[in-house]
Amino acid sequence: MAGNELASVDELAAMVRGREEQPSARLRLAIALGRELSDTGDALIERFVADARAAELSWTEIGHAFGTSKQAAQKRYGVTPGDVGRVAGRGAPTAQQVLEQAGQHARELGHNYVGTEHALFVLIGRDDPAAQVLAELGITHERLLSQLGPVVDPRPYERLCVMPRLKQALEHAARIAEELGHRGPSTEHVLAGIVAVPDSMAVKILGCLGASPDDVRAALAARLGFESSRLLVPRRRRRRLLAKTI
C-alpha cells in the first residue's frame, strides 16, 4: 500500500489468504482482524465525539452527524453519574469514586468533559499512597489549577463526555491491579494508570510541574515497597494484525 491509505477489503482478504491456507484458519484470522478494525474504528469515533463536546457541540448536532437522534448519541457516548461504574469497571469502587468526583470537579470548572487532569485533581489531598506521592513531588491543588487555564462559571451539564485517555488510564489501572494480585484498582493504581498514558493531559501537566511518569512510578513503588517496573502496564499478548497490514 502507498502512504497512509486504508486497506481495501480485497487487500485485507489477500493478506488473510497469504497467511493461512486452511478455510477454518482463514475464518479465525478474518474474525480477529474484523474485531480489531471495529475496536480501532470505535476508538477513533469516540475520540472525536469527545473533541466535539469539548468544542461545545450539542448532542443534537452530534446525533445529526451520526444520522440519529440526540438521545441515541447520548446513550452511546455520554456518561452520567449512574454510568460511571461501566467505565471504571465493576468491583472497583475506588476507581468509580475517583471518576465520580472527577466529574463533579469538571462541572465546577465549567467543563463538559472529564479528563485525566480532573482525575489527578481528585487524587491530591487524600489520605492514601497516591496523594502522599503527589505531595512528595510538590503537586498541590493550587499548582494543578494554575495549569488548567481560566475557570468559567459552573454549568449543570446533564452528561459529561469521558475523554478516551481517561478511559485508557482506568483500564490500565485495572490491569496493573490485577497483575499485582490486588482485588481492584485503588488510587495508587489509578495514579499509575494515568502516568502510563504518555500523551494524557495529566502527564503534560505533571511534566510542567517537574514530575515525570518515571518520577511518579519510582516514588509510588518506594512507598508501596516493590520495584517500579511492576507499575508498568503489562503487555497484551494479542497480535496486532492491523499494524502488519496497513
CB 115 within 8 Å of CB 165: yes
Enclosing domain of residue 176: 78-236
What mean pLDDT is reported for the chain? 82
Q: Cell numbers at residue 14, please?
A: 489477500
CB 162 within 8 Å of CB 87: yes
Q: Cell numbers at residue 245, please?
A: 497490514
- My answer on whether 89 and 198 are in the same domain is yes
Q: pLDDT digits over 96-133, tens only?
A: 888 888 988 888 888 888 899 999 999 998 889 999 99
- My answer on whether 105 and 206 are in the same domain is yes
Single pTM value for the model: 0.64
Crossing angle for the helix pair 164-179 and 93-108, to the nearest 10 degrees: 160
Q: Is residue 244 part of a domain?
A: no
- My answer on whether 70 and 82 are in the same domain is no
Q: pLDDT digits over 165-199, tens only?
A: 898 899 899 889 888 888 778 899 999 999 999 98
